[in-house]
Structure 1
């Protein structure tokens, strides 16, 4: 088995209907310029429009690199805790057992497809959503399932995970916004003081 390099990113900033905003398009262009310096083999994206549009922008800057949908990257809640942290009770209000089971199935499909070494050295971009990036990081760190709740992710922030045979995954970058100027950072987060 060889190293699989995963570049997991949240889509660019989008409006309430899922269309990229001007900010989201600019964020994605800057991310694409950063990714263009890497030996990318494939770009996979969620089926949701904000991820599709982000993947189209990135694909245009990576000539010859295949861009395709991966349903495992769709936005979903990957884990509903049995014992609810008080701060999250309102968020999970209304989730039933069937929805929790479907989220767990999708989370398993996500890690089953992407979170392991590959037969040949690969560099893959995953255009997805904040919860899926958090789930991949939680999985790579072998943290308890509830820990995905504390991992937030900005629009077009870059998270890099390497999967090698015989050793645990390595999280090289998490939520890196170095390609974005100050005025394009911290979108996708709630209000608060930012470093």
Structure 2
């Protein structure tokens, strides 16, 4: 087995209908410029329009790199805790056992497909959603499932995780927005003070 290098990103900023905005388009271009210096083998994306368009923009800057859909990257709640933390009670209100089980199956499919070493060394970009970025980071750190809660992720922020054979995964970067100018950072978060 060889190292799988994952570059996991949340899609660019989107409007309430899930379409990429002008800001999201620019964020995706800047991310693509950053990724262009890496030996990217494939770009995978969620089937949702905001991720599809972000991946297309990235693909336009990475000539010859295939851009494909991966159903495992779709936006979903990966884990519903048995005992909901009080500050998250409103978020989980209404999730029934069937929805929780469906989310868990999708989360298992996501980690089963991407969170492991590869047959040959590979560099892959995953254009997905905040919850899936959080779930992959939680999984790489072998943290309890409930720890995905509160792991926020900005639009087009870069997270890099390496999966080596025989050793624990390595989280190299999390939520890195260094490719974005200050006015394009911190989109996708609640209003608040930011560093």
TM over 0.5: yes
1:32-181 residue pairs with structure 2 within 5 A? 32-181=32-181
Q: CA RMSD in A?
A: 0.3
Q: Tell me whether 1:183 sits opposite 2:183 in the alignment.
A: yes
Q: Displacement of 1:25 after TM fit?
A: 0.3
Q: Displacement of 1:150 after TM fit?
A: 1.8
The alignment's TM-score, normalised by the length of structure 1, stands at 1.00
Q: Displacement of 1:176 after TM fit?
A: 0.1
Q: Any idea what the Cα deviations from partners look like across 1:102-153, whole Å, max 9, x if unmatched?
A: 0000000000000000010000000000000000000000000000002100
**Aligned counterparts of 1:154 and 1:107: Cα–Cα separation in 2:** 20
1:22-41 residue pairs with structure 2 within 5 A? 22-41=22-41
Q: Any idea what the Cα deviations from partners look like across 1:169-189, whole Å, max 9, x if unmatched?
A: 000000000000000000000
**Aligned counterparts of 1:189 and 1:64: Cα–Cα separation in 2:** 33
SS of alignment partner, residue 149 of structure 2: helix
**Aligned counterparts of 1:84 and 1:90: Cα–Cα separation in 2:** 9
**Aligned counterparts of 1:23 and 1:62: Cα–Cα separation in 2:** 20
**Aligned counterparts of 2:37 and 2:100: Cα–Cα separation in 1:** 39
The alignment's TM-score, normalised by the length of structure 2, stands at 1.00
Runs of at least 4 residues off by over 3 Å = none
Q: Any idea what the Cα deviations from partners look like across 1:15-72, whole Å, max 9, x if unmatched?
A: 0001100100000000000001100000000000000000000000011100000000
**Aligned counterparts of 2:86 and 2:55: Cα–Cα separation in 1:** 36
SS of alignment partner, residue 159 of structure 1: strand
**Aligned counterparts of 2:52 and 2:20: Cα–Cα separation in 1:** 10
**Aligned counterparts of 1:194 and 1:152: Cα–Cα separation in 2:** 12
Q: Which runs of 5+ in 2 are unaligned?
A: none
